Structures are given as C-alpha cells and as structure tokens.
Structure 1
Amino acid sequence: MWFLHSSLLWALPAALAPVLIHFISLRKARRVPFSDLRLLRAAYARSLPTSRLRRWLLLAARCAILAGLILAFARPVLRSDSSGVLAAAPGEESTRLVVLADVSYSMGYRPHGRTRLELAVGAAQKILRGLKPHDRVAALSFSDRIEKAGPAGRIEWSSDAAEAGAFLEELRPGFRTTDFIAALQPAYAFLRDSGPGRKAVLLLSDGAAHGWRREGAQEIRTAVSAYDPSVMLFGLRWDGPAGNAALTSAELLFGPSGAPGVSQDRPELQVRAWLAPGDGAGGLERELEVRLGEERVDLKRLRLTPGRETETAVRLSGERAWAWGLAGLQKDALAADDVFYYSFWLEPRPRILMVQGGPRSFETGRGGYFLKKLFADVRGGLLPYRAEMMDVVQARRARLSEYAAVVLFDFREFDREFVSSLDEYLRSGGGLWIIPGKTQDPSAWRGLDGTLPARVGMLDGVSSASGLRPERPLSESGSQRRLSWTELDLQNVSFRRRYVLDPHSDAQVWFRDGAGRPMLLQGRRGAGRVLLSAAALDLDWGNLALKPAFAPIADAALGYLTGFQARREPRMATLGAPLVRRWSEQEPLPASAVLRDPSGKRVPLQVMGRKVEYETDTPGIHRLELAGSAEPEFTAVNLDHSSRESDLRPTGRPPWNGLRVDASDEDFMRALYGRELRDPLLAGVLLLLALEVFLANASGALRRAGILGLCGFLWFCRPVEAQEGDKFVWSQLRYDGNWDPYPSAPAEILGYVSQVTSVLPSPQRRSLTLADPLLFSSPFLVMAGTQALDTLGDDELTRLRAYLTSGGFLWIEDVSGLKTGAFDRWVRRTLHLVFPDSDLRPLAAGHVVHKTFFLMRDLGGRVAVSKSLEGVDWGGRTVVLYSRNDVLGAWAKDALGKPLFDCVPGGEAQRADAKKLALNIVMYALTSNYKSDAVHQPFLLEKMRSGTAP
C-alpha cells in the first residue's frame, strides 16, 4: 500500500490518545459512609459485562476514528501487486507498455457480430487513450510466432499511443495457432532492456488453454527466460462460454484394401468432426456438406457429442486421377475450422480386356458369370480395374496395346489370327491370363504352345485330395490386400476336374491342389507375363468361384500381369509447413512450374535439384501447374489441429490480471496506478462517529432498536439477481414437431442486429415451452412452423395470454410457403382462443413496424405468399405479429455460408427486404411504438421523399 502524503503517518500514534485519557481518568473509589442506593446501583451497573464491553467498544471506536482521519489525510493507494508494506508513493514515472495482439484463427470467434480480435483491439484502444503523454507503447502481433512487430517491423516504441492504436486496427485473424510463450519471451526481453519505470504487458487474446503448449500457465516464470515479477501482466476476461465445433481430418477409404464394402471406383471419404466439451448437454446437430471438386456430392445432418470426435463416411463418385474437394460443417461462431480440404492422387486403374468364347459364358454358374461380378458388382466393382467384355470377333478389331492385361476364358478353340496378335502383344510387354472353358477341346491348346508356361495334358477326373496349397506369398503376387493366404481358408477349395499341367523349367507354380498338382502357373513370353489356370471356374469343375479366396486370387493375378499397385497418395499438408514436390530420376522434369493458391494468385516456381518447394499461408486447394501436364496437381492445405486451437475453454488459473472487455480502461488504470482509499476511509470514520455517539448516549432499548434497524437496512441492501442485463435474448418456442426448421437463421439475424444497431444480443439462443418458468423472463418469443400443432390446453392458453398481456411479444412465422396451409389454420384458430376479443388483422402500411429501423415498402422472405403482415393488438400495441413469407428461410445458409434457398420471385432484392423486415421486427419488440412519436415524423417524411432508409 502506498501513501501520497506519507509524512502524515507520523501522526498515527495520536490514535492512542483515547487509551491514554481512559487510563488517566481511572480513579480509585472513595469511601462514603451511608451512601444512598443510587450510587450502589450505578456501581453495580458499571460492573456488569455488557457495560464493560460498551466502554471498550467506545474506546476502540474513538481510537479507530483518529487513526482513520490520519490515514485518510495521508491518502493511501492500494495496488493489486502490493506486498502489503506501507510505503510512500513513487514519484511521477512513465509507463512502458507492450501490447501483444493474438492473430491466431481462434481470435476469429464471432459470437455476435464482432470477432474477439475486434473486441480485444477496442478494449486496447480505450487503455491507450487513457495513457499519459510521457508513457511509451510498443505493439506487436503474434500467433505461434511473432507475426509483425510494430510499424517498423521490429519491436520498438511507437511515436505515440495513436500510432500503436492504428497498428492494432489493421490486424485481422490469421490461420495459425497460438503460443503465448512465443510472444511473452521477446516482450519481457524488450522491457528488461528498456530502463527503469513502471512496466506492463497487455495480452490481447482469448486466454484459451490451448495457448500454453508444453509449459503450462503456471510455469511462465521458468518458461520465459527474461521473466521479471515487477512487470505487470494483463489479459482479457471474457464472459460466457465459447462453444465451437470443428472438422479435424478426412481420409479416403477404398476396397478391397480399404474398408469392407467400399468399392475401388467409388471410394468413401471418412470425415471426423469435434464438438467442444460442454457445448450442448446432449450433443448438437450440424449440417455437413461434402464437395468433390466443385460438385456437391452429399449434404447430411451430423450428430456431434461434446468432447468427442464423430466420424461419418460419404461415398464419392467418378473416375478421376485426383480426388480433391472439401467437407464443410454448418458455420458457427468460429468459421475458420468448419471447413476441411482434402486431396488424394489415385493411380489410374488399368484397362482389362475380358475375351469370352461364346454367348453362354455369362450364364449363372459359368466362369464368366463369376468373373463379371468381380468388375460389375452392385457396390461398383470389387477389383480396382476397368474391365471390358468382348467376344473373339470384337477382340480381333481391338487394339490390344491399349490394355494392361487380357483374360481368355471359356474357349472351345483358339483363333489362329487372334493368337498371333496375342503373341505380338505379349512380346511387347502385355499380360495374359488363360482360364480353360467348360467344353474346351484339349487339342486346341496346341495353338498356344509357344505362349504357355506349361505343356497341357489330358483332362483329369475327380481328385480325392481337396484344398489349395500356395507356393508364393501373397505379398509377392501383386495383390494390395492387407492379409495373407492363411486367412482365406484355402483348405476348403475343391476341384472335380482339371487339366494336367507339365510346367516348363522357367515356369513358377503359384498354387497346387491337395495332391500336389499345379493349379496356377506363371511364365514369361518376351517382355510379357502369362498366367495359366488348370481348371475352369464353372461350378461343375470346382467351388473356387464361391469361396472367399476367389477375389484375392484374381486380384493377385491381375496385379502381377499389370504391375498395378493401387497407389494412392494423400496430398495434404498443414498450414505453415513447406510443400515439396520431388521428381524421381525416371520422371521427366517439367520446363516450368506455376503455383495457383486458393485466391487464384499465380506464383512462378523454380525447379532446383529435381524439386520445387513453396510456403503455404492460406488454407484451401493449391494447384501446381506443370508445363507439359494436362491436369494440375492438387494439394490440400488445412489448419493445424494438433494444439486443439478449436477448443476455446479458458485457462484455469491464468497468470495475468484479468480485465473486463467492456471496462478495460478502468480495470487497467486501477491495477496499474492503484486505488485511492481516502473516500472509503472517510466514510468509515463517519460510521464510527455515529457508532460512538450511539454507544455513548443511547439507552439500552434504543441501542437494541438501532441494531435491529441496521441489520434490516443491510438485508434490504443485499445484491439482487440480474436476469439478462442489457442483452437481447432470442427466445424460440419449442413444441412437439419441426419447431426449428432453420437452426442457423437466429445466429445470422443476431449478427446482423449487432452490426447495424447498438443492441447487444446474447450469443446463446433460448428455446422454451409455454410451461417453462423462463417464459416471463423472455420478452421476445419466436414461433416457426410448417404443420398444424396439437390444440393447446387451457393452462397453456392462459399462460400465453398472461405472457402477451404482461409485456411479451410473439413473432409467428409460417415457413411452409403455402397460402392456406395447416399451420396457418392452426394459428388463426389458436389466436382466436387466446384473444377472443381481438382479431388477427392485416397491419396497415403506416404501422410502426414498417419504419422502426428501415422504411419498408415491400415485404421480403423466401417466398411471396402475402403482401402484408398480420397482428393482434392489445393495450395500444401489437403483441402478436404473424408473417407468412418465410422470412427465416431467407436467412438460412449452408456450411460454406451460402444461402440454402433462392428467394422467389424477387431474387436477392427480396432477400434484402427479408433481412430488413427481420431487423424491424426485433427493433419493434424492443421499442414498441417509439417511432410513432411526433418528434420522428419530419425525419421519416424526409427519408421517404429522398428514397433512403435509416
């Protein structure tokens, strides 16, 4: 505690004067013979404990009065960082203040119209305006690093507070995360070298716990090497919870190597969303939109659980080398983390030519039937190949070089011309798989003698041994399946007939049957690869086509023939990390490379050392355009979610002095300069004087009455509970049915109200029923509906009438878009029951609601059903307002912030009128008939003549 006139403290011993006088006045009682009874009674009364207590209280009160007077004239000043020692106030010294502005993406949180960064800068401006001319200010912005340090690009003192304020006004939330230590370290180091004086650091941040990385809020003394306890640290204190939902990741799933049931040509995008703990007790529903390229592929509602990640999968479509796009969650107060971008490169699927021997090859139970199901399943195809079915006549005209592999099956004999084409195809590097047919003549194999990896013998009958025995690991066969042969129950495969195969010396056996005879072999023909099966796939030859091993064996065979590895590379990066594109020695280098960022800006890149490298500072899809490439390469850049920047829960025990955002200057000056206690001390002296007079002169009965009166006064002066203060609360009526058709509309309206008026809306919407105790604490109530509700009971009708006649306002919105719908009939019937003496009538063009804020000439909405508003009047005001043009629907937006519906027939002009009407209705509920006063008439007439609106 400091004293502005510390020399007066030498007079403090004078406060003991009443004690000295008390002891001096103590005299020994004299002996008086035959004293009267009055003296005896007085002596007895003075000896009672209550009398002794009163004398000591008088003595203490008199000492306290003198001490209070002396301290009051010494002018004590109490500071929050005071050590409790009495000292003289320091001389006039300047203040050195460093302002740290957090520009991480969490500062873009916009609960009602303005971001937290805008509110924080406004709080700082009030502090800067209160500084003295000789005070010095330095300002810098930070995220997980120092972004910009002062007007000159480094930490230095501004010429004045106005220059620092101008620097802060230009700041906008970025896309990086928060690290308090990264900002506090240079700030304390700068102040350490700034010389003597009063020093302070002002942290303009949301104060969330995610800003402390490894150190933690309570370890600032050790984490900041230049920490000085004499430097006062200030931070902002935010009111209310900050709920938030975010998209955290996206992954592409494939079959057969991905999730079961997911096809190769129609992969699924698995999206993960996260909801902040405590944001909605039972969870919240949000709309999720997924786009593939520029095309919307799905729009669904996602149920989010507080504190947990929620997964959902969306089926993608289309044959493309690049799968890129975005997943967007319904926009909330922090919109930056509601979008997640994805990009994957997919190895193009090879083309396979399936050549059958006859038209009956695809009959049920035949080998062609089962082969066709591998590529044309209801799920889109089990194997990652594009198969084309042809007969031998069509195959003669086909260009075999365009296919990665050819499969011959169910042949009775082999066409010589086609065999010649196959041989040339194989020598040039193609792949061939030959599967016998049901009625194939053994002599027909002779035409392929130079191509086959084995000599084909006669048909063999039923084998007593069943099962398949692999000779080659699955990992070496070309299959991309994450399993092994032992998982496929090969022992249950059986064959009724087979061709006897005599492998050539250079052939390799893949499978043998239970008796050890070859069933599938591989060989070479020039640069090509050949596979030969010993048995047909028809059911009367065996059961392989019915077993789970069939698809993996076919996948392995085609993978061996084509060299296809089903490679898929996620091309996604975290914002801030450099993106690097490397070219292998086998890849040709592009002559030039140009990067096009999400905003469309093109940046030429230089290829050095067979690579290009570039920085990313904006989330979105980045396109790398290479000379000679028909299609650019796509990279998705997303926000960094590793530090939980989306979790806006505040620091538990922050190391700073908290400042109220709306009273930052008052709190800052009080904490920095202290609070003078002269007036409270003088008030205390007055109370002690009254107590002294009361104890010295009042009788016992009067003293008791005074004590009871003082207790009663203090009880009546106790603090009372506030309801919502001066904030406007959007309350919406909840009922059984579709009571909330547009969940995003209230937040959009409240943001608009905050932007264009001085009304301060509450960020949280309130939903209640007619039986809710909060009904009479909610003067503004909205009801939206599309269908008829159940008839209200007598108690509900009574409460609704009591609410409306006691000052409440009800806005009913018919969102059905129908001229005469079930909801409209229910509204008219119910309002007649509530107000049998007041009818629902169209409001006149001169009604106050049409000019409360904007001068309305046309009524907007999603549709144009009615040309006028309707209402119920009671007590000189409109207590119920009924609109039928779906005004709320005009406010509804999707996850990307775009309108969900077109406004018909007037388009965007009709939407603008809807926004004006919604604001007028809110302002009418707050001000009633205020704008109808005569003082406003000249102003309104002038606006009407000029064609403008306030």
Structure 2
Amino acid sequence: MLTLGPLGFVNPLLLFALAGLPILWWLLRVTPPAPKRLSFPAIRLLFGLQPPEETPARTPWWLIALRMLLAALVILGLARPILNPNAQLAGGGTVVVVVDNGWAAAANWAARERLLGDLLDQAERDRRTVVLATTAPDGRESAETRLSALPAAEARRIALGLQPRPWALDRPATAERLRALELDGSATVVWLSDGLESGADPEAAEFAQALAGLGSVQIYRDAPGDLPRLLLPPEIDTAALILRARRAPSEAPDSLTVRASDDRGRVVAQQLLDFEPGAAETAQALTLPIELRNRITRLDIEGEAGAGAVLFLDERWRRRPVGLVSAGPLDAAQPLLSELYFLERALAPFTEISRGDVGQLMNRGVAVIALPDLGPLPPEQATALESWVQAGGLLLRFAGPRLAEGDDGLLPVELRRGGRVMGGALTWSDPAELAPFAPDSPFAGLMLPQDVAVSRQVLAEPALDLPDKTWAQLTDGTPLVTAEPRGQGWVTLIHTTANTEWSDLPLSGLFVEMLRRVVAVSQGVSGASEATLPPLSTLDGFGRLGTPPVTALALTAEAIEAGEIGPRHPPGIYGTDAGRRAHNLVAGNPSLIPIGNLPRGLESRVYAGGEERDLLPWLLTAALVVALLDALIALALRGHLSLRPGSLRRAAKGGVSAGALGLLLLSGLLLQTPAAHAQSTAQAQSTAQAQSGAQSGSDQDLRRILAATLDTRLAYVITGVPRVDDLSRAGLSGLSRLLLRRTAVEPSDPMAVELGRDELAFFPLLYWPITPEQTNLDSAARRALNDYLVNGGTLLIDLREPAVGTRLFGASSRNGQALQRLTDGIQVPPLVPVPPEHVLTKAFYLLQDFPGRYDGGTLWVENPDEADNDGVASVVIGSNDWAGAWAIDDLGRPMAAAVPGGERQREMAYRFGVNLVMYALTGNYKADQVHVPYILERLGQ
C-alpha cells in the first residue's frame, strides 16, 4: 500500500496510467485529413449561404478537459484510494505484531481487533509471514510459548482467540522472546500498545528499543481520553462509603458513574464521580442505609470494560450493627467515665451503634452485642442470649468488679473469684504489658503500643483448652482476651474493663483495632488464621465474573501481602462458603502512567485516527456523472437533443448509446470491493432503519404513506443518536413479533418518524425515547405533535434511566431536564400515577407494575376522568427503558439485560407492551365491561 499523508492506495501501480493522459489529450485532438482543393467556378454561387450544420475543425479544449477528468477518475478509482487507512505496512519481510493484552487494553479492545484484522489482511495480500506476540503472561511455560513466523491465515486464527488478561503486562519477558526469533532480514514491527507503562518504573522506551532491533517500528496507543480508569478500594466513613477512582494524569475534566450491586447482580445504588482538571484521583461519599450498604458486594464503572473497572467488596468493607447494653444509674451520672462512652467512641467509626436492653437489641437484629461489666445476667436473659449466639450472633463481654464476684455461664472460660491486682500499693508486681499476638489470632499483625498497661484483670481457671481459646495475653502468660465458638456464633470476653478503671487499653488506638477485628469475626471472617483460600470465581479481561482458569491457585497469606495479581492469582473471589475474600486488581498497584518519550525514529499513532473510508465507489460515481455529462454535451453538439421527428433515430446513431452508459454503470457497481460494498450496504441499512425523512421525491413519500396505511405499524421518534435509534427500532420489532404470536394484532415492521416532517396520523402508538443530545423542537414539529395528541394518538415518552422517583421530572436527571426542554410548547395534559384500576392494568394481561429494562420507576398517564378520545390517555410517561427490554437481534436474542429481575422482569415488560398496544388500539372497552351488570339491571334483564 502506497501512503500519501492521510491517503493510501491499495493498487498504486495503476497510478502510472496517469502518465498516459497527455497521449490521450493528443488523440482527442486528432482531426480527419484535410480535403483536396479543386477549382470549380460555380462554387461562388454558394458563398453567403448558411450551412444547416457546422463541424468544428478541432474538439473544444473544455470538452477535452472533461474527458481527461473522466479518464483520471477511472484510473484513480481502480487504484483503490483509501482515506485514513488504519493498517499501513511499509517495507517487506516478516510482519511482527506485538499486542498489549493486559487489563488496560479491555476498555478499547474493539479498536485493537479492527486494526489487527486490517494488518493481517494486508499481510495476506502481500504474502508476508506474521509473528504474533502478546505481552501479558498466560501462566504457561512450555515450547508452545515460543514465537515463530506463521502464514497470515494461521495468524488470523490465533488472533481470533485473543482476549485481554485481567492482570498487568510483562514486556521484558516478551522482549526476551522476540530476541530469540530467527528472522530472514529486517522485519516490520507494529506495536499495539495500551498507552501505559507496565510498572512503577518507566520501561516502555526500553521495550520500544528492543523492537527497533527487529526493523521499522510503528506504535499505536490510545488517545488521552480513551485511557482506562481504575476503581480504588472504598473507605468506610461513619455515615457513608467513600468511593474512590483514579485516572491517568490529564488536564481535562472527566466524570464516571460507579454502580453498586449486591450478590445477586441487582443494582443497589449509582454514584457520579467527577475529576477536576489536573486531578488524578477523585472521591465521593455514597450515603445509604446500613442494611442496604451491607448488601453491596461489587462496584463497577458503568459503561467501561476491564478488570480495573470492577472492585469486589468483602466483609472488610461492611458495617455491622452493634448493640450496647445500657448500663446502670452510676454510668448515667458519670457519662464520660462509663464503659459505654469508651465503647461507643471506639466502635462508631466502623459500625452502626444502637442502645437498649438485651431483649430490645436482639429484636433489632444486631450482629454484635457488647455487654459491659453488669454482673451475672438474669436466667431468662442468659437463656435468650444463649439462643441468639447459637443462631450466629457474637457476644462481647468485659470483666469488672461485678463479674469478678460471680458468673452466669455465658462466658468462654471459667473465671476465678475476685480478680488480680497489679501495681497497687499493697502488691509486689508492676502493671503488666501486652504480649505479641499469636499468628493464629484474629489480632495478628496489630502493632503493640509501648504505653499500654493492665493494672487489674479477672483470671481464667487453668484448663487444657485454655490456650486454644486465648486470642490475646499479657507478658506473664495470663489471658487478656478469650473466645469460644458456640453454634454459629461466638462468646468473647476481655478480661478487663472497657473504661480506664483497670487498664490504659481503652485510651489507645489498639483498642479500636481490636474491636474492629472482633466485629469482623461476627461476619464469618476468620482473619489471618486462614492458611489458603481456594478460588471461587475470577474475572476475565473484560471484567466478567466466571469460572477460575486452570492456572489459578489458592490464595496464600504471602500472596495477599505481596499483592500478587497474575495467572496464578487472578482478581476475583477466593475462600469458601463460610468466608470469602475479595482479591482485586488494585492490590497489585497497577500503573496508570502514560507512555513517555520514545526513541527517535519510531512512528507513533492513535487508534482513534480518522475513520477508514474507501474512495473507490465515490470516484466511480463521479466518473459516471462526468460520462453522462459528456454524453449530453455530445448529443447537444450534434443537435440530437431537439424534440423534432427523427431526433431519436439520430441520437441512436450518435457517438454515445444508452447501452454504453448502462455498461459503464454496471462496471462501476461490479468494481466495488467487498469492503466498499459492505460499507454502502451498511449505510443503506442505517438509512432504512433511521427512516429520517431525508428521501426526496413524491414516489418515496407515496410508498411510505402506503406502507403506514395498509399495515398496522408502531412508530418511534428519531433522536439523532444512532445507538438509541437502533435500540428503539429493535425494541418495537421485538414487541411487534410478540404481538403477532400472542394476540390478534398483526403488526408489520416499525417505522421511524421525524417530528415536523413525517405524518403521524397513521400510527396508533408513537414511542419517544428522551436523550440530552436532542435539539429543541421547531414550530412544525410542535404543531404536528399537538395535532397527533388532539386527534387520538398515544405517545409513550421514555426517560430511559433507573427510577427517577415519584416526581415526574427528576431535578438531578439529565434526561428529565431534557424532557422539560423538549416538551416546551407541547399540550401535555395533567398527569397522575397509573391508578390501580386503570385499563392499562387489565387491557390484555393483569398487571400491578410496569417494568422495562429497569424497574421501580413511576408510570404517569393522563387523568382518566379528564381524558378525551373515549377516555384513552394521549400521553404516557415513564423511565424504565421499555425499548431496551423489548429489543432483540436478528436471531431473536435479547440485546440488553433487564435489571434487577432478569428474564422474569423482561416478560413483565413484554406484557406491559402488549397492554399498551391493546389500550391504544381498542380504547377503554375493558373499563366498560365493568359496568355491564349495572347496564343489564337498568334494562330490566
């Protein structure tokens, strides 16, 4: 391929035919031989007569230039010029394609696939061998990983199976594999990079230098706006979950939407995060009720693929409700010295705290009950707490003077009466310090402060199982924290008070961390005592959760501490049904540093360069137009364009025949390449789908009117957003197929209408999706829409977003604001939520709600008491994206997921569509049937 700036030629040798244009110019100027002169005196009688026809001695220069242009257009067309060619392989030899297929490539993987396909196509045309190398490790160490040159067709088969990996790259290892290649001569290297450094230390320049040792190098990278974003682990605040995200350094503002889902895939909440200009990180608080927040197991960036856009949450990010048993009157008299004061201050940062007696707390469904030193519990309370613990609760008790005098059996160990005093005036011992925590303790890894000492404690009776029940002890070996599992729950005892009466522990940060670990145990987290965690489900390169690969191994404590993310430990969920741990990509500290300066002489491009466009059909079309113009000029010069008798016969004898023109048109169609034909076909399909009203001529308008009147058709409003218009067409097509199968309605394919241009009176139902990109309606569009509503049409307006709420227009909703703008000047009647006995609830199916792709939005209709047209509402407004739920592809498969209800929700969306069409076609006859018994009674029958 010859490249001249943004223009490339597939057949550049044909351009040499342009050198023959001067010869063609000379040939066109050739005239017949001059006639022989004979002396004939009578010729003077003809002087002054005007001949009926004059033949010039030479062809006019402008006609020659027109024919030269025709020849140049044909030559250029046959040379196959391509504007903005994506794949450009210069030189010869083997083609080495290096693909960055790490986690960062997933966000723009489609562009890489297209470019890789173009490269392999050109290599196959040039009969060049291909070496295909990837930079993300796959966990295999065998001869299969060695690189070798393959035919382009075999390389394409391998390329079809390429997918991004959910971990970072290893470019140095790929460079070693490339150095081991044995190539004949220089190669052409194309590096499809992800635009980022693969580690904290910039190494892309070294990798590019290694590629340059193989031959000429072309580097493709993502545009700055296409670089991936990364979700960071959220932080737990007192009243919210702080969502965080990171991006590559950029001076432009940016925003993303984080979607929070539960373990069943249902969307719990959505939150918008904005990046300020120049900011690399952003954070935003997500405020939810504690019960709803604890259900969140997954965060992901909406509309972005890749493991970096997905973050799993385990028990470490959940706030569990903790109940504090109310103390006696002494604590109420001295609140700042009470145990409850210290407990509340220590637990507030990571739990939801409530107070009450034992019965009240158990009824509130708390996960942990903290019991200060209140002495032995009454028998009925002890029995109730025992049952609560057996069912999975955690009881946290603190020792003190009251508990030292007797116990109630609800303790992990047997206690000695009295207590142990250290550091008093009558004792020989000093206050004891804490001993380091054992590796199998839930407190393992916590740092011990130097200023924490215990001056008094309640001792445990020696027993054989006492070491197994001890979570923390003093330096002299006496237990400080003991615990015992009972049924599904735990009983835990701290052998000192929760205030500063017996120790300095409540004044330290260690007290807060110890309580955090204890609360975590209530959630089934076993802490650091879990040796290995087998993989349950892992992410693929696009951020989809699935079966772990064969290379995945169990997650060890060493791998967790090192943040190991790779083929052996891919991001995902590890553990067992009893306890699970989220292992996210961010644990490996992936790089978001853009590739810096590369060695000189390397050609660098972006994936999103211009759209590749084949100019062959345009040049041949222009050649055809020029040929027709030349034919008309030739006919005019010969006088064959008059309407006198015999003019058609003389035209048939002219230089250009209709058959020749038809042959030129047919040759132009046959010379189109498959790519150009596919492109023109796609454009034709897009035009037919959009039905934008751009057709000209009365015949097309007549065919459109006949199609709308002879068959029942649903219609949708063109928004100008191709993605939305395609979804609307597919949605109404899916609904039309369902109506054909389940009802007596036999609709044809839906039609697209442009407000103000197309007639709306033919369509019983008009679907209008709202997008912020739509421009305001002009006067003709407003007038047409008002006439449609007044004359009995039904308009379904869809905001296409999750539940806006009980208000008709969400103040914070972009689509709601767009609807207010677009309906300015439209006679929208007063609207109310659908009443329980409305005809829409029983037109064909019995319905209680009206879900679509989303669920929970309010459906608004015209007040039935005020509606004209036999009580049928002219306007129906909702936000559940019904077209998205109805949409099917050519194979009948759904095109969009219905959340959160899945296929059951999609079925209910179809039923709503059937009811709506029946309501629009038949009116409120179902409402009239309710009055039939009263009508018969009044008639006396």
TM-score normalised per structure 2:
0.42
Larger radius of gyration: 1
The structure with more strand, counted as a fraction of residues: 1
